[in-house]
Structure 1
Amino acid sequence: MYTSSSYLTISSFLNEEQLEQIAQAQTTAIYEDGKHTARDGAREVKNNQQMNTGCTAYSTIQQVLLTAMNHNGVFRNAVLPKNIYPFLISKYTQQMGYGWHVDSPLMGNMMRTDVAMTIFLNDPEDYEGGELELQSSTGNVLYKLKKGDAVCYPCTQLHQVREVVDGERHVAVTWIQSLVKVAEQRKLLFDIQQVIDKLFMQDRQNLEAKFLQQSHSNLLRMWCE
């Protein structure tokens, strides 16, 4: 559900079977300095380890995560993904963090980054500190979600990962180019889709839902790129 007009949290984005697959793959993973994937000023404040994208474990985890994305209706309806950047599988140990930074507006083959996504791969009790902190006009927002939960947030905002005081923090992070560039338009489409889904759950022939579906389709047709 949206916690504001910009942030989306998805409970149990990964199920128990998927989490077990990831945990098994992590036992053979190869990690390297996370600074290798940072640019400009972000490199100076980034202090973590990232899974080597050439190891077998990375390929396994990447496939699990993409499968979860493809099967999650909330994610698809809210983010409207057009392009998805390959995941970064990160590990933060004691005294590691990622200082205040803003994500690159373009990644890979000039893919525009609209939405960032963090998926939490271990329990919050496994580490102290390590909160994802986002700056907003109404005050800073902290996220330290349950294992398997995910949060999506706009790439336009300053954010950081607070230093891990004890334990280990494991996450997967990616960036998405949406079919609909404007966040407020995506939010409106998502709200309408939620109402449509609830009406159809009550009655598959609900006429009001069909009219709403028509409006949703027309808006998407108008706004998508």
Structure 2
Amino acid sequence: MIRIIPDVLDADGIARLRAILDAADWIDGNETSGPQAALAKRNQQLPEFGEAAAEAGRIILDALGRSPFFIAAALPLKIYPPFFNRYAGGENFGDHIDNAIRMRRGTDFRIRSDLSATLFLTDPDSYEGGGLVIEGMTEPPGLKLPAGHMVLYPSSTVHRVEPVTAGSRVASFMWVQSMVRDQAQRNLLFDLDMGVQGAAATLGQGDATVVRLTGVYHNLLRLWADS
């Protein structure tokens, strides 16, 4: 299931982030690619362990921690530190599936990639092409969200970035290991969470039905979640 998460970053957050990124040195995106990805990938990337990526990544992780919609949709256990990429001059990333396990080089940090996320950092009218095409949900020209919006989708899906033919497309991307591994269970919990919130807005948090539904949500989460 694809989820669009609006306004992860506001205008001030985007401006702070872009100031960091625009001043940074970029490298060939294949610096961190595996053999298969290297055949399909043509873009630029911030060095994974550089100060710019670390500072910008902290801004994004702080913002995600304040996003109830992201937390409800992903139920995150671990998030791989955000990467940053840039496409221009016809660069693209062909069809691929993200690796099941992501290991941070030189550390013992690793996650199972249940969900992939792209946070758009340039407005869609500032570049041509560059749509994110996700198998089964989007077709060419693909998904292009306003700056500050995120798309969250299963890492098991084939996806690609169409060539950027004018301007430049800047984004952050990352992977999430969810507390709930099973996608169907995660979707049920999300729908139940949205229903409980809607009922609470109408009936009040103390309503007996809302209390009972909240209990059902947490008991299912207790049954299915790892921590």
2:106 is equivalent to residue 102 of structure 1: no
- Which ranges of structure 1 fall in alignment gaps of 5 or more residues? 1-5
- Counterpart of 1:38 in structure 2 is 33
Deviates more, 1:141-150 or 1:212-221: 141-150
2:17 aligned residue (22, 28, 34): 22
Letter in 2 for 1:130: G
Name the stretch that deviates more: 17-26 or 119-128: 17-26
Please state whether the residue corresponding to 2:94 is helix, strand or coil: strand
**1:171 maps to which residue?**
171
Maintained 8 Å contact 1:12/1:149: yes
Deviates more, 1:191-200 or 1:87-96: 191-200
Which amino acid is the alignment partner of residue 171 of structure 1?
Answer: A
Please say if residues 29 and 55 of structure 1, whose CA atoms lie closer than 8 Å, have aligned partners that are also in contact. no
Matched residues in 1 for 2:9 and 2:209: separation?
A: 33
Identity rate of aligned residues, in percent? 29
Contact 2:205 2:211 (8 Å CA) reproduced: no
Deviation at 1:65, TM superposition (A): 0.2
Alignment map for 1:124-163 (pairs within 5 Å):
124-136=124-136, 140=139, 142-163=142-163
Counterpart among 8, 11, 21 of residue 6 in structure 2: 11
Aligned residue pair count? 219
Distance in 2 (alpha carbons) for counterparts of 1:42 and 1:184: 28
Cα shift readout 1:188-222 (whole Å, capped 9, x = no counterpart): 10111111112222312111111111110111111
Q: In structure 2, what is the equivalent of residue 3 of structure 1?
A: none
Q: How far apart, CA to CA, are the structure 2 residues paired with 1:158 and 1:218?
A: 33
Equivalence map 1:66-77=2 (5 Å): 66-77=61-72
Q: What is the aligned counterpart of 1:83 among 78, 99, 108?
A: 78
Q: Which residue of 1 aligns with 2:185?
A: 185
SS in 1 for 2:65: helix
Aligned partner of 2:197 in structure 1 is 197
Tell me by how many angstroms 1:150 deviates.
0.5
Work out the CA distance in 2 between the residues paired with 1:81 and 1:40: 28
Structure 2 gap ranges (5+): 104-108
Instruction: Let me know the Cα RMSD of the aligned residues.
Output: 1.4
Could you report, residue by residue, the CA deviation over 1:32-51 in whole angstroms, capped at 9, with x for unpaired residues? 00101111211111100001
